Structure formats: structure tokens, C-alpha cells
Amino acid sequence: MSVTSTTVTSTTSGQQVTTPTLGRSARRAAFWIGAGIVLILIALAGIAITGPGTAADRLSPTSAAPSGAKALVEVLRQEGVSVTVASSLEEVAAAASDPASTTIVLNDAESLLDDDQLAEVGNLATRVVLIDPGFAQLSALVPEVAAAGGTAWGGEDATNADVLEADCALPAVLASESVSGGGAGYRVVDEQAETISCLGSGDEVYSLIQVTGDGGDGTGSSDGTSSSDGTGTGTVRTVLGASEALTNEDIVVAGNAALALSLLGETDSLVWYTPSIADRAGDTPPTLAELSPGWVVPSTLLAILVALAAAVWRGRRFGPLVVENLPVVVRASETMEGRARLYEKGSARLRALDALRIGAIERLARQVGLSRTASVDEVITAVSAVTGRPLSEVRLMLLDASPNTDADLVRLSDDLLILERNTVTATRPD
């Protein structure tokens, strides 16, 4: 192998500036900027196609999604019912000006209301419809009823769910004749209460239970009259577990529409109340800013300014980068000998031989007229053809042989030199 010495030189005519320019930096960043824009466009397109999540739309009176209830609300309005959509208790109180002619639909799926707020809802109207109520709502408004598990009947697809026939004298259920769709089940736990249980699915589990009288608050009177605040014996609390019957997707199945319109359209005014975080505003914990002392913000801003000033002070350059002459010239032979000593110290005979093989293969490829992209197998085949040596012998020298001792390494190195000489001799014109 021939070894050439290398030196490091620098231009003496002027300084070579290596500081990247603004244009070069912009070209390097163009790919990542373009990729980021593409990802943002893909995300926006996905949001536009799929729309927002449907979990918050379930039984929303303003949602046209399959799980929303906008279709029912619009039909009620066409029938002359004044429908008010409320998201806070204050809005409900403002809309329910006449408790005797108002029906409140309470859909508190997240159980945001406490006992006092639930009691206030019960006092705002004589008729309250609870959609899939939980333990807290049942305890506060209808303690005569308890939850009886999850889905009472049916499945995810309402068209394949069991159909429940009218099984009570409640006008809304009689008008529907049959109801389909999934829902929750409830049972009466107070046998002395004045209740009407409908849409039974077996084992004394019902999907609609109506409680009349004082609603469990003990404010009713024995003469059957209703007090001015709507908390007398004229109060009606309806527990509706057949919530799927109210959705846009299932309202047209079986008698779902008749049940919903009859049940929610009995009064001139309907307030559809879906509690929001606004009802919990008074219970929210203090923010970090409220808990922090007054000196924290000024001190933080001062520390940021000091850090920026230090970065500008210590990070500024005094001029463009230039090439500096090396104090000494390192000979290529010294580098080669240094690597050889490292290989010898680590007994890395195969690594040293591979370094020799890489150089030999490159030179052999050029000698036999192959391109730089030629594979090792192509070089082996060409060298074997021009030298007349067996293919296995050439492959053993260039790939397969592994030295176990230093003597093997020297022998294989000599074999590579001989193979190169033979190749040069065979390819040299006469």
C-alpha cells in the first residue's frame, strides 16, 4: 500500500469566512418549516373532517350530531313550546318565572351540582325530568328511586334493541305505545311513595319512573294543592333512563318521538338545563397567582432580564470565524503508526486487516476498470478472472480469512500486496 502525507494549509490572500449567512440558514430551515406547515394543515383538515369530540354533544339541545337532541328541541318549538337552553343555575332561575307552567329537563351527566343546587332546581318548577340521574341527583330530588345498574336493555344500535311496550297509564307512555333504544334502569325503593313505573325490563327494573307529591322534600300538603314555589303536592319528578330515545339518531325509532314530545311538552315552557363549570365557580381552588406573594412576579421578570443580558454579553462574537494555521504539520505516517499501535494494544487484528482490505478493494476495483459503486463480489469476480486465481482463494483473502495471531495478520497483509501486484501485472498492456 502506498501512503501519502497530508498537510493542512490556509489561504494567505485573505480570511476565509465560515459564519453562516441569513440566506444559508433560511435554506437549511426551509425543509423543516415546510414540514411543520404540512403537519398543521393535516391536523386542521382532520379536525374539519371529523369535527369536535362527540362526548360533550350527548343529549345537547344545540347539537345536530347523532347523539345530540337538537331535533327534539326544534320539534317542541314548532309545537308552540317555549324552549330555553340553560348552562347555569342562574339562567334556569331567570327562565323559570312561572313554576306551574315550566318543565325543567336536568341532564347533569358530570354530577356538577351539589345537594343545595339540586334542591334549588327542584324548587324552580313543578315538573322536573331527570335524564339518567346519578346517586346524588336521586338522593336530593327523588329519594324514593334508586339506580338499578347500567343499561337496562338494548345495545349500541337502537334499531336492533329490544322494544318495550307501553305498560302503565302514564299518558306519555300510552301515546308512544312502544319505546326502543338503550338506557339506564331504576327501581322504586319506597313502596309508600306515590309513583308510576313504566317501561319495565324485568326484575322490577324500569326505564321511566314518575314520582308525584312532595318529591321527597317533605313540603307537600295533604289537600292535594300546589304551593306557590312549586314544592307542594303538585310537584312531579320524572326519572328517565331511556335517554337514547331522545337523541337525533333514535328519535324516529318506534314510539320514541311520541314519548319525548308528550313528556317534555306538557307545559308551555321548557328549560333544558345542562350544568357547566360555571355552577362550580365558587368551589374552584385558588390559582397559583392568588397563592403566590406579590414579590414573585417582579423577581421572576428581573431574573429573565438578567439572563437575557448575560446571554447577550457572553454570547456575542467579536468577528467572523477565520482559519487558523496549525502550529505543527502532522505526517500521515505518524497517524497510521498511531492507529497501528492502538490496534496492536487492543489485539484488534481483524479490524486492522479490514482497514487494509478496504484500501486494497478500492485499488483493485480501479485497476480492473470497475466503478466506485461496484460491490465486493463484483471486484472478487473481476480480479479472479484477470489473475487466473480461483474465486474462493480471492474471496478468502478479501473477505473470509480471519487472523488469529500477529503472524497470520502479516501473512494476510503480504498476500494482499501480492494480489495487487498480480492484478497490476495482468492488466498492464504489453
Residue 219 has pLDDT above 50, yes or no: no
Q: Are 1 and 356 in contact (CB under 8 A)?
A: yes
- Segment among 68-77, 129-138, 142-151, 379-388 with least mean pLDDT: 142-151
Residue 12 has pLDDT above 80, yes or no: no
Dist. CA 254–CA 200, nearest whole Å: 16
How are beta strands 235-240 and 206-213 bridged, if at all? antiparallel
Nearest to 423 by CA among 374, 373, 389: 389
Residue 225 has pLDDT above 80, yes or no: no
Q: What is the mean pLDDT of residues 70-95?
A: 88
Helices within 200-331 (DSSP H only): 256-264, 288-291, 296-315
Q: What is the mean pLDDT of residues 43-56?
A: 60
Q: Which residues pair with 209 in a beta bridge?
A: 197, 239
Residue 80 has pLDDT above 70, yes or no: yes
Residue 216 has what pLDDT? Answer: 40
Residue 2 has what pLDDT? Answer: 37
Position of cell 314510539?
Answer: 255
The residues, ordered by sequence, that sit 6+ positions from 135 with a Cβ below 8 Å of its Cβ are: 147
Residue 343 has what pLDDT? Answer: 83
pLDDT digits (tens, 9 = 90+) for 108-136: 888 888 888 888 888 898 899 998 888 88
Q: What is the mean pLDDT of residues 258-272?
A: 88
Residue 381 has what pLDDT? Answer: 92
Q: What is the mean pLDDT of residues 331-335?
A: 78
- Give the sign of the dihedral formed by CA 354, CA 356, CA 362, CA 364: negative
Q: What is the mean pLDDT of residues 74-89?
A: 88
Q: What are phi and psi of 185, to 5 degrees?
A: -110, 150
Average pLDDT, rounded, for the chain: 78
pLDDT band at 214 (very low <50, low <70, confident <90, very high): low
Amino acid code (one letter) for 394: V
Q: What is the mean pLDDT of residues 135-164?
A: 68
Residue 43 has pLDDT above 70, yes or no: yes
The residue ranges of DSSP E strands in 75-189, in sequence order, are 82-86, 102-106, 127-131, 145-151, 163-165, 178-180, 184-188
Residue 55 has pLDDT above 70, yes or no: no
Q: Which residue has the higher pLDDT, 213 or 378?
A: 378
Q: What is the mean pLDDT of residues 301-319?
A: 81
Q: What is the mean pLDDT of residues 167-194?
A: 82
Q: Which residue has the higher pLDDT, 15 or 381?
A: 381
Residue 129 has what pLDDT? Answer: 92
Share of the chain above pLDDT 90, in %: 9
